[in-house]
Protein backbone atom coordinates (compact mmCIF):
# COMPACT_ATOMS: atom_id res chain seq x y z
CA UNK A 1 0.00 0.00 0.00
CA UNK A 2 1.39 3.41 -0.94
CA UNK A 3 2.20 5.86 1.86
CA UNK A 4 -0.64 8.21 0.87
CA UNK A 5 -3.20 5.40 0.84
CA UNK A 6 -1.89 4.05 4.14
CA UNK A 7 -2.04 7.50 5.76
CA UNK A 8 -5.67 7.87 4.57
CA UNK A 9 -6.61 4.41 5.85
CA UNK A 10 -5.08 5.07 9.28
CA UNK A 11 -6.68 8.53 9.47
CA UNK A 12 -10.04 7.01 8.56
CA UNK A 13 -9.81 4.44 11.34
CA UNK A 14 -8.69 7.08 13.83
CA UNK A 15 -11.53 9.43 12.87
CA UNK A 16 -14.07 6.71 13.66
CA UNK A 17 -12.30 5.83 16.91
CA UNK A 18 -11.30 2.36 15.71
CA UNK A 19 -7.85 2.32 17.31
CA UNK A 20 -7.43 -1.43 16.79
CA UNK A 21 -7.95 -1.14 13.04
CA UNK A 22 -5.66 1.92 12.88
CA UNK A 23 -2.86 0.13 14.75
CA UNK A 24 -3.31 -3.01 12.67
CA UNK A 25 -3.17 -1.06 9.41
CA UNK A 26 -0.10 0.84 10.62
CA UNK A 27 1.79 -2.28 11.65
CA UNK A 28 0.92 -4.18 8.48
CA UNK A 29 1.64 -1.18 6.24
CA UNK A 30 4.79 0.17 7.88
CA UNK A 31 6.02 -2.97 9.63
CA UNK A 32 8.12 -4.48 6.83
CA UNK A 33 10.04 -1.26 6.13
CA UNK A 34 10.54 -0.59 9.84
CA UNK A 35 11.76 -4.12 10.44
CA UNK A 36 14.15 -3.73 7.48
CA UNK A 37 15.43 -0.47 8.96
CA UNK A 38 15.98 -2.12 12.34
CA UNK A 39 17.78 -5.10 10.81
CA UNK A 40 20.16 -2.86 8.89
CA UNK A 41 20.66 -0.41 11.74
CA UNK A 42 21.20 -2.94 14.50
CA UNK A 43 23.01 -5.55 12.33
CA UNK A 44 21.48 -8.28 14.48
CA UNK A 45 18.22 -9.95 13.48
CA UNK A 46 17.34 -10.99 17.04
CA UNK A 47 17.87 -7.45 18.30
CA UNK A 48 15.86 -6.10 15.37
CA UNK A 49 12.95 -8.42 16.19
CA UNK A 50 13.11 -7.47 19.89
CA UNK A 51 13.09 -3.75 19.10
CA UNK A 52 10.33 -4.26 16.53
CA UNK A 53 8.24 -6.03 19.16
CA UNK A 54 8.77 -3.14 21.58
CA UNK A 55 7.92 -0.62 18.86
CA UNK A 56 4.75 -2.58 17.98
CA UNK A 57 3.61 -2.57 21.57
CA UNK A 58 4.35 1.14 21.96
CA UNK A 59 2.44 1.94 18.77
CA UNK A 60 -0.50 -0.13 19.96
CA UNK A 61 -0.56 1.53 23.38
CA UNK A 62 -0.01 5.11 22.23
CA UNK A 63 -1.87 5.35 18.91
CA UNK A 64 -4.66 7.31 20.62
CA UNK A 65 -2.13 10.08 21.33
CA UNK A 66 -1.39 10.66 17.63
CA UNK A 67 -2.51 14.25 17.00
CA UNK A 68 -1.70 14.56 13.31
CA UNK A 69 1.02 17.19 13.77
CA UNK A 70 3.09 15.18 11.29
CA UNK A 71 2.43 12.27 8.97
CA UNK A 72 1.65 9.02 10.75
CA UNK A 73 4.81 7.54 9.21
CA UNK A 74 6.94 10.27 10.79
CA UNK A 75 5.23 9.74 14.15
CA UNK A 76 5.82 5.98 13.86
CA UNK A 77 9.51 6.50 13.14
CA UNK A 78 9.74 8.64 16.27
CA UNK A 79 8.45 5.62 18.19
CA UNK A 80 11.00 3.45 16.38
CA UNK A 81 13.84 5.77 17.37
CA UNK A 82 12.58 5.76 20.96
CA UNK A 83 12.58 1.94 20.92
CA UNK A 84 16.08 1.83 19.40
CA UNK A 85 17.35 4.26 22.03
CA UNK A 86 15.79 2.21 24.80
CA UNK A 87 17.37 -0.97 23.43
CA UNK A 88 20.80 0.64 23.09
CA UNK A 89 20.66 1.93 26.66
CA UNK A 90 19.87 -1.53 28.04
CA UNK A 91 19.90 -4.32 25.41
CA UNK A 92 19.80 -7.19 27.91
CA UNK A 93 16.74 -6.05 29.83
CA UNK A 94 14.59 -5.95 26.69
CA UNK A 95 15.65 -9.27 25.18
CA UNK A 96 12.94 -11.90 25.04
CA UNK A 97 10.24 -9.85 26.79
CA UNK A 98 6.82 -10.95 25.55
CA UNK A 99 4.41 -8.39 24.16
CA UNK A 100 1.59 -7.27 26.43
CA UNK A 101 -1.15 -8.16 23.96
CA UNK A 102 -1.55 -11.40 22.07
CA UNK A 103 -3.13 -9.39 19.24
CA UNK A 104 -0.06 -7.13 18.94
CA UNK A 105 2.17 -10.15 19.20
CA UNK A 106 0.31 -11.92 16.40
CA UNK A 107 0.57 -8.93 14.07
CA UNK A 108 4.27 -8.42 14.85
CA UNK A 109 4.90 -12.10 14.15
CA UNK A 110 2.92 -11.90 10.90
CA UNK A 111 5.02 -8.93 9.73
CA UNK A 112 8.19 -10.79 10.72
CA UNK A 113 7.17 -13.92 8.80
CA UNK A 114 5.83 -12.11 5.73
CA UNK A 115 8.85 -9.86 5.35
CA UNK A 116 11.07 -11.65 2.85
CA UNK A 117 14.81 -11.64 3.32
CA UNK A 118 16.18 -8.51 1.71
CA UNK A 119 17.56 -9.63 -1.62
CA UNK A 120 20.24 -7.39 -3.05
CA UNK A 121 22.62 -7.40 -5.92
CA UNK A 122 26.30 -7.80 -5.13
CA UNK A 123 26.96 -4.07 -5.53
CA UNK A 124 24.05 -3.16 -3.27
CA UNK A 125 25.42 -5.63 -0.72
CA UNK A 126 28.79 -3.93 -0.92
CA UNK A 127 27.20 -0.49 -0.44
CA UNK A 128 25.28 -1.85 2.54
CA UNK A 129 28.58 -2.93 4.09
CA UNK A 130 29.97 0.55 3.45
CA UNK A 131 26.91 2.14 5.08
CA UNK A 132 27.51 -0.01 8.15
CA UNK A 133 30.88 1.74 8.55
CA UNK A 134 29.08 5.03 9.14
CA UNK A 135 27.98 6.17 12.59
CA UNK A 136 24.51 4.98 13.63
CA UNK A 137 23.07 8.49 13.37
CA UNK A 138 24.43 8.88 9.85
CA UNK A 139 22.95 5.52 8.85
CA UNK A 140 19.60 6.65 10.24
CA UNK A 141 19.84 9.94 8.36
CA UNK A 142 20.50 8.09 5.08
CA UNK A 143 17.68 5.64 5.71
CA UNK A 144 15.08 8.28 6.53
CA UNK A 145 16.00 10.65 3.71
CA UNK A 146 17.04 8.25 0.92
CA UNK A 147 15.25 4.98 1.63
CA UNK A 148 12.05 6.43 3.13
CA UNK A 149 12.08 9.72 1.21
CA UNK A 150 10.95 11.72 4.24
CA UNK A 151 11.00 15.51 3.98
CA UNK A 152 13.82 17.33 5.75
CA UNK A 153 11.39 18.62 8.37
CA UNK A 154 10.16 15.07 9.04
CA UNK A 155 13.73 13.76 9.25
CA UNK A 156 14.53 16.55 11.71
CA UNK A 157 11.45 15.68 13.74
CA UNK A 158 12.38 11.99 13.93
CA UNK A 159 16.04 12.63 14.71
CA UNK A 160 15.15 15.17 17.41
CA UNK A 161 13.28 12.53 19.37
CA UNK A 162 14.69 12.08 22.86
CA UNK A 163 17.28 14.81 22.56
CA UNK A 164 17.99 18.33 21.52
CA UNK A 165 15.98 19.71 18.59
CA UNK A 166 17.71 19.23 15.25
CA UNK A 167 17.33 21.80 12.49
CA UNK A 168 16.52 20.60 8.97
CA UNK A 169 19.24 22.88 7.55
CA UNK A 170 21.85 21.26 9.82
CA UNK A 171 20.71 17.83 8.67
CA UNK A 172 21.05 18.84 5.00
CA UNK A 173 24.65 19.88 5.65
CA UNK A 174 25.31 16.67 7.59
CA UNK A 175 23.74 14.69 4.75
CA UNK A 176 26.20 16.24 2.28
CA UNK A 177 29.10 15.23 4.55
CA UNK A 178 27.70 11.69 4.88
CA UNK A 179 27.35 11.39 1.09
CA UNK A 180 30.96 12.58 0.67
CA UNK A 181 32.16 10.05 3.26
CA UNK A 182 30.20 7.28 1.55
CA UNK A 183 31.68 8.30 -1.78
CA UNK A 184 35.21 8.11 -0.27
CA UNK A 185 34.47 4.65 1.11
CA UNK A 186 33.07 3.52 -2.25
CA UNK A 187 36.11 4.85 -4.11
CA UNK A 188 38.52 3.08 -1.77
CA UNK A 189 36.50 -0.12 -2.17
CA UNK A 190 36.65 0.16 -5.97
CA UNK A 191 32.90 0.56 -6.38
CA UNK A 192 32.94 3.79 -8.34
CA UNK A 193 34.85 2.31 -11.26
CA UNK A 194 32.35 -0.55 -11.69
Question: 99-139: per-residue pLDDT in tens?
Answer: 455 666 666 666 655 554 443 345 566 777 778 888 888 88
Q: Which range among 45-49, 82-86, 107-111, 168-172 shows the weakest confidence by mean pLDDT?
A: 107-111
For the chain, the structural domain boundaries read 1-117, 120-194
CATH 1.10.1740 fits 1-117, yes or no: yes
- d(CA 50, CA 165) in angstroms, rounded, equals 27
170: which residues sit within 8 A by CB, 6+ positions away? none
For the stretch 15-69, pLDDT in tens is 999 999 999 999 999 988 888 888 878 877 788 888 998 899 999 999 999 988 8
Multiple choice CATH, 120-194, 1.10.3720.10, 3.40.950.10, 1.25.40.10, 1.10.10.10: 1.10.10.10
Q: Contact, 173 vs 186, CB < 8 A? A: no
Amino acid sequence: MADVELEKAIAGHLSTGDLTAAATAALKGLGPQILGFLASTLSDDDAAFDVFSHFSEELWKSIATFRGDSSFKTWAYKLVMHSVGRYRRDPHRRRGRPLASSEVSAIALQVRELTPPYRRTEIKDRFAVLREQLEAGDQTLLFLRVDQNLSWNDVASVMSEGGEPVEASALRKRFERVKARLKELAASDGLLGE
